[in-house]
Amino acid sequence: MNARALLAPLLVLALALAGVAAAQKEGAPAGSPKAAAASGAEPIPAAELPKEARETIARIHKGGPYPYAKDHAVFGNREGKLPKQKHGYYHEYTVKTPGERTRGARRIVAGRGGELYYSPDHYNSFRRVKD
């Protein structure tokens, strides 16, 4: 096969990849496939979370009190792993980790719309919580 015959399929492939990359840069509305993938494939029932996460969720629903000074701080979503929203939409809360002397890595992030996300690994991954 000559070089000209390969050029057209390569061009089509390059354009397709560019389109995918551009789509991934844009924010995704909640409920979109990108948002679902960003927050874990399947929502996790709250009953399946660690006891400490369920306790944190109960405090969130009550409006506090929160045991850590940084609880209820604005979560910026700088990595874009949650659905894109305006700054101030998300707030973070510490999930106590037994045996940890510091805040540990576990968090709940709450959106103003009532949605909750659990991160067991300091925002590296999220699962939407089915409350």
* Residue 130 contacts residue 46 (beta carbons within 8 Å): yes
Q: How far apart are CA 5 and CA 2, in angstroms?
A: 6
Annotation marks residue 92 as catalytic: yes
Instruction: Name the catalytic one among 48, 61, 79, 122.
Output: 122
Annotation marks residue 91 as catalytic: no
Instruction: Name the catalytic one among 55, 79, 92, 115.
Output: 92
Q: How far apart are CA 108 and CA 113, in angstroms?
A: 14
Strand 107-111, strand 116-119: pairing:
antiparallel
Instruction: Kindly tell me the number of DSSP H helices and DSSP E strands found in the chain.
Output: 3, 6
Catalytic residues: 92, 122
